[in-house]
Amino acid sequence: MSSLSKFFKSKKNDKPETQTAIHKLRETHEMLTKKSAFLEGKVDEQIVLAKKYGLKNKRMALQALARKRNYEKQLAQIDGTLNTIDSHIEALENAGTNVEVLNAMRYGSNALKNVHKNMTADDVQNIMDDIQEQRDTCQEISNVISTPMGLNADYDEDDLLRELEELEAEGVEQKLLDINRIPQLPTVPDSDLSIPVASKNKKAIEDDDIGALAEWAN
């Protein structure tokens, strides 16, 4: 292996992982935030001193204001650095997310390749053709098994149907003959039936009783 290849390989191996880099940047961000708070306190102190000396001690007042401006300059630099760190952390987090997504997609792609490794469209079509062929064979076997054997196998179905129609026609004719054979009913006499003698005598007695009651009432 050449020296140049070893150099690039070493640089690649020494490259910090995304999470490690983000962790270090956040530690730096926290440290600079604390320093910024310290400098803000110093600025407030110098303002108090400048007001204290005022015109009584002009030189001390000017020195306090000069220190205040120096602290403010450092604060501005820290603010710029913090903004840069925030942007870098955000970029690393997005890059890490992209890497995770890419790895997941690569894993899914490899899984699909493994599934289809021993399978092609022609293989699937051949399997489907085999299935259809076996279904056709099964249907043919079922048809053979369901075909009548023995007694009915030696006779023509059309002849049997004609014989059945003849038997049905004979049955209809027999029913018509049975309808024409109506049994004879007994003859009904033309004259009125005679009333029994006992009934006539009872009727006459009742009429006599009614007449007697009518005469007594008058």
> Per-residue DSSP letters for 92-147?
HHHHHHHHHHHHHHHHHHHHHHHHTTT--HHHHHHHHHHHHHHHHHHHHHHHHHHS
Amino acid identity at 41: G
In this prediction, residue 200 carries a pLDDT of 53
Other beta carbons within 10 angstroms of residue 33's beta carbon come to 13
In this prediction, residue 11 carries a pLDDT of 44
Separation in Å, CA 40 to CA 44, 52, 72, 74, 79: 6, 19, 8, 10, 12
- For 68, residues 6+ apart whose C-beta sits below 8 A from its C-beta are 42, 43, 46, 47, 50
Q: List the domains of the chain with CATH numbers.
A: 15-115 (1.10.287.1060)
In this prediction, residue 10 carries a pLDDT of 43
How far out from the chain centre does Cα 193 lie? 92
**For every one of its 218 residues, what pLDDT tens digit does the chain have, with 9 covering 90 and above?**
454 445 445 444 445 588 899 999 999 999 999 999 999 999 999 999 999 988 889 899 999 999 999 999 999 999 999 999 999 999 999 988 888 898 999 999 988 888 878 778 888 888 899 999 999 999 889 888 876 665 455 566 777 777 777 877 877 777 767 666 655 555 655 555 555 555 556 666 666 666 665 565 55
The dihedral region occupied by 148, where left means phi > 0, alpha psi between -120 and 50, and beta the remainder, is beta
* Predicted TM-score (pTM) of this structure: 0.45
